[in-house]
Amino acid sequence: MSKRVLILEDDDLRIKHFMRNLIGCQIMVVKEAIHAINYLNNETWDLLLLDHDLGGEQMVDHSNKNTGSEVARWLNENPEKKPPAIILHSFNPIGRLNMKKLLPESFVATGGIWNTLTTEMIEEESFNEAVKNSAKIQTRILGT
């Protein structure tokens, strides 16, 4: 059974990359926070990829309603809707840190590490455990 992946991303280049590398997964890409929240509320996902800055903007304040932080806040208030694996892939360091504080179990993919994400990786039995372990290690290192 293929993994169900919800991606919040507005950059077409990253979207093409995800689509090219996650072959065989059931992928839904949304470009606005409210749409991500609606899909999370109404469907079950194996993996959530969260960008912070949306709408073509950069270094957006995390209090903005159309950001990955808004999705992270909603998930924090609705923990039963959290996918088993969450990857934060934003280049906005403050937005990424805010999302990490709200979703401490998430994995932070910085510096383009998200480029290495493939179908094979997320289909592995150990993927969810690896994400959780990475989150624990990052929490200790980053103090988040």
What is the chain's pLDDT, residue by residue, as a tens digit (144 residues)?
688 999 999 989 889 888 888 888 899 999 999 999 999 999 999 999 999 999 877 787 777 799 999 999 999 999 999 998 898 888 888 998 999 999 998 888 765 555 556 556 655 555 556 555 554 444 443 344
Q: What pLDDT is recorded for position 136?
A: 47
Q: What pLDDT is recorded for position 23?
A: 83
Q: What pLDDT is recorded for position 115?
A: 57
Q: What pLDDT is recorded for position 64?
A: 79
Distance CA 23, CA 112 (A): 19
Q: What pLDDT is recorded for position 117?
A: 63
- Centre a 10 Å sphere on the Cβ of residue 142 and count the other Cβ atoms it contains: 10
Q: What pLDDT is recorded for position 144?
A: 40
Q: Which domains does the chain have, with CATH numbers?
A: 4-142 (3.40.50.2300)
Are the beta carbons of 53 and 83 closer than 8 angstroms?
no
- Please work out, in degrees rounded to the nearest 5, the angle formed at the alpha carbon of residue 77 by the alpha carbons of 141 and 43: 100
Q: What pLDDT is recorded for position 44?
A: 96
